[in-house]
Amino acid sequence: MADYDYHGRLARLLWERQLTGPLTKANRMAAEPTATASTNLRQRYLRAEEFVIGLIGVALLRLSAADGLSAADRTRLADPLLQQLQEFMLQMDGRPFSDHGWEVLDARAGYGRWAASYDLASAALVAVEEPSVLTLLDNLPAGLVVDAACGTGRYAAHLAARGRDIVGVDIAAEMLAIAEARVPTGRFVVGDLCALPLATASVAGAVCGLALAHVSDLESVARELARVVRAGGRAVLSVPHPLVVALLDFKAAIPPSQADERRAYIRQHAHAVSDYLDAFVGAGWWELRRCVEPQISSTAAAALRPGFAEIMQIALVGLPAVLVLELERCPKAMV
Ligand SMILES: C[S@@+](CC[C@H](N)C(=O)[O-])C[C@H]1O[C@@H](n2cnc3c(N)ncnc32)[C@H](O)[C@@H]1O
């Protein structure tokens, strides 16, 4: 920090815009803090420019915190970011903010709508998440495995291909229909993670990929999985990492069809890492075996906003993208 004055440069940049530029919507919002439909960031659709301005801020903070960079490196990396920030602010001047609101759907309706294109859209996150989960699935004991919130059957297909008996459960029938066609040897049942349609102690292991952030009551899921998995069995859980969910306002956003102006996302909860651990481990049903945090790779960062590869690299690469837990069902737990 001592060798490169980001804050001074940023402050000058903002001050100059305020003195010389037209009254921007951002300035008006600061002056009139009443939230309307279009100024409420939770309700309206964030413009690409607004998102990238935020990412430039994150990139500058990460450069500031990075160890081992020379003053020349910091200048080389920071100058184009500040330049782009200025260009974006000029572009935003006088332009109306988007008024298209988000439609917020529950999991059943949202994944019902998304099912047909889901596998294509989720590829970047899955590429980061999957290798860690697959490694841990090798530790599942012999016997039936439940793919809980199985979606289109990604993990059910992997396990079935290795000769495992599987049962898949999901709240969205449209996702299950795809899983059923993909894994003909599996059994698939519509059901809720909080009330699994399976008998007590009927499975040896469980996998639950990228679904728990959609559930408000984590303790119910922890108890239900502990009920159906027999003592000594294992569960592998993955969720988008709470840090990037908060930092990037990460949404389970359904890709719009061409005709749609209004975008939709599926409601999810801002659980912290400690919320997951409290629900599963704190209640005494599960013991933690492994906790893995796969990081955002260069490829995943580039996929997020293809036109802004350099900003994405500095802002995002190396942050934890996913939280993966491997748990063992405690032998003595009463469920
Ligand atoms: C992001 S997708 C992940 C699908 C799959 N597990 C995978 O990793 O490819 C989340 C899935 O969770 C399901 N889901 C969300 N809430 C659920 C609930 N309460 N009970 C059962 N399934 C649920 C959705 O229908 C959707 O198929």
Q: What is the DSSP string of 180-248?
A: HHH-TTSEEEE-BTTB-SS-TT-EEEEEEES-GGG-S-HHHHHHHHHHHEEEEEEEEEEEE-HHHHHHH
Cα–ligand 1 centroid distance for 260 (angstroms): 24
Pocket mutation for ligand 1, best pick of 150, 159, 170 (most atoms within 8 Å of C-beta): 170
Q: Write the pLDDT tens digit of every residue in 268-286.
A: 898 999 999 999 999 899 9
Cα–ligand 1 centroid distance for 150 (angstroms): 6
Cα–ligand 1 centroid distance for 149 (angstroms): 4
What is the enclosing helix (H) or strand (E) of 148?
A: strand 145-148
Cα 15 from chain centroid (whole Å) = 35
Q: Which residues contact 190 (CB under 8 A, 6 or more apart)?
A: 169, 170, 171, 173, 176, 197
121 SS3 class: helix
Q: How far apart, in whole angstroms, are the C-alpha atoms of residue 163 and residue 175?
A: 23
Give the residue whose CA is nearest to atom 4 of ligand 1. Answer: 151
Atom of ligand 1 nearest to the CA of 215: 19
> ∠ CA 274-118-134 to the nearest 5 degrees?
55
Check: CB of residue 183 under 8 Å from CB of residue 241. Answer: no
Lining residues, ligand 1, CB within 6 Å: 107, 111, 149-151, 154, 170-172, 175, 192-193, 209-211, 214-215
What is the enclosing helix (H) or strand (E) of 123?
A: helix 123-137
Check: CB of residue 309 under 8 Å from CB of residue 284. Answer: no
Q: Write the CA distances from 64 to 7, 138, 295, integer angstroms.
A: 10, 41, 20
Q: Write the pLDDT tens digit of every residue in 300-331.
A: 888 877 778 888 899 999 999 999 999 999 98
Atom of ligand 1 nearest to the CA of 193: 20
In the prediction, which pLDDT does 5 show? 57
Cα–ligand 1 centroid distance for 231 (angstroms): 25
Question: What does pLDDT average to over the chain?
Answer: 85
Pocket mutation for ligand 1, best pick of 105, 106, 108, 111 (most atoms within 8 Å of C-beta): 111
Q: Write the pLDDT tens digit of every residue in 63-77.
A: 888 878 888 888 899
User: Whole-model pTM?
Assistant: 0.83
CATH number of 106-329: 3.40.50.150
Give the residue whose CA is nearest to atom 17 of ligand 1. Answer: 171
In the prediction, which pLDDT does 137 show? 98
Q: How far apart, in whole angstroms, are the C-alpha atoms of residue 286 and residue 329?
A: 5
Q: How far apart, in whole angstroms, are the C-alpha atoms of residue 206 and residue 148?
A: 7
In the prediction, which pLDDT does 40 show? 55
Q: How far apart, in whole angstroms, are the C-alpha atoms of residue 269 and residue 222?
A: 16
Domain limits, CATH 3.40.50.150, in the chain: 106-329
Cα–ligand 1 centroid distance for 193 (angstroms): 9
Atom of ligand 1 nearest to the CA of 151: 27
Q: How far apart, in whole angstroms, are the C-alpha atoms of residue 173 and residue 108?
A: 8
Q: Which residues contact 22 (CB under 8 A, 6 or more apart)?
A: 93, 94
- Give phi and psi for 241, each to the nearest 5: -65, 130
314 SS3 class: helix
Pocket mutation for ligand 1, best pick of 125, 130, 147, 150 (most atoms within 8 Å of C-beta): 150
Cα–ligand 1 centroid distance for 151 (angstroms): 5
Cα–ligand 1 centroid distance for 188 (angstroms): 13
Q: Write the CA distances from 85 to 39, 91, 273, integer angstroms.
A: 21, 10, 33
Pocket mutation for ligand 1, best pick of 105, 114, 175 (most atoms within 8 Å of C-beta): 175
Q: How far apart, in whole angstroms, are the C-alpha atoms of residue 9 and residue 18?
A: 14
Q: N- to C-terminal Cα distance for the chain?
A: 53
Q: Residues for the chain: how many in total?
A: 335
Q: Count CA atoms closer than 13 A to 266's CA, side-chain side.
A: 22
Residue 2 pLDDT class (50, 70, 90 cuts) = very low
Q: Write the CA distances from 14 to 25, 59, 197, 328, integer angstroms.
A: 14, 17, 57, 53
Closest to 97 in 3D by CA, of 31, 34, 29: 29
Q: Write the pLDDT tens digit of every residue in 194-232.
A: 999 999 999 999 999 999 999 999 999 999 999 999 999
Q: Write the pLDDT tens digit of every residue in 147-182.
A: 999 999 999 999 999 999 999 999 999 999 999 999
